[in-house]
A = this chain, B = another copy of it.
Amino acid sequence: MTSTPRVRLDPSTRREQLLTLGVRLLATRSLDQLSIETLAEEAGISRGLLYHYFGNKSDFHEAVVRRAADDLIEATMPPPDDDPLARLAYGVAAYLDYVVENYEGYLSLVKGAGGGNPKLRAIYEEARTALTERLFEEDPDGLMLTDNPLTRMVVHSWSAMVEDMVLSWARDPAGVEREELLALMGGALVSLVDLAR
């Protein structure tokens, strides 16, 4: 029998690997169900070592959620494109896929942030700001969005609407097709911005 030689990883690489595993585990369970014990078992290492890497449970959750938020921001980054509508469509589709694939963890983040955990709330708000801010940054000439307080309010509330749609669709599609939903979510922003002109 041969076995893969164990490679000694430096601590920061090891920590990154463990975070990646934590985010993967979060796809199918809530944050409450993701304990350091669960991660230790899945990673095949001691709880003591995990406490060494992550401190306490609250710091561990914060690190996993921060990584999940970074993943979401990266996953929904459209390729360079001159057309704001094409970038919007890409972002919306990638967001839908991300939430469907990471449903339990995403839902628990929304609940944790909504319930007033200040650290989770801050990470959630940062991620949401990054996603909506991008729409303005990608459109410096204001082809789709004019940067003013009313449009900002519209974009923020549109993102709340999209989150609600995606979460209910992920829970129960109720016969609504993916393409139909995507067209609706993208089209909604265009219509709302038009109404707010």
List, in ascending order, chain B residues with CB within 8 A of A160's CB: 160-161, 163-164
Are B153 and A174 in contact, CB atoms less than 8 angstroms apart? Answer: yes
Shortest CB–CB separation between residue A135 and chain B, in angstroms?
Answer: 16
Are B157 and A164 in contact, CB atoms less than 8 angstroms apart? Answer: yes
From B110, B157, B169, B188, A165 is in contact (CB under 8 Å) with B157
In the assembled complex, A46 has its CB within 8 A of some CB on chain B: no
Cα of A43 to Cα of B183 in the assembled complex, Å: 54
Are A184 and B154 in contact, CB atoms less than 8 angstroms apart? Answer: yes
Copies in the complex: 2
Judged by DSSP, the binding face of A is: helix
Cα of A24 to Cα of B170 in the assembled complex, Å: 38
In the assembled complex, A44 has its CB within 8 A of some CB on chain B: no
- Number of residues of chain A lying within 8 A (CB) of chain B: 36
With A153-B174, A160-B161 already in contact, 5 other A-B pairs whose C-beta atoms are closer than 8 Å = A150-B180, A153-B176, A156-B164, A161-B164, A188-B192
Can you show 26 pairs from A to B with CB atoms below 8 A apart? A110-B114, A111-B114, A111-B116, A112-B115, A113-B114, A114-B114, A115-B115, A149-B175, A149-B176, A153-B165, A153-B168, A153-B169, A153-B174, A154-B165, A154-B184, A156-B164, A157-B161, A157-B162, A160-B161, A161-B164, A183-B195, A184-B195, A188-B192, A191-B191, A191-B192, A191-B195
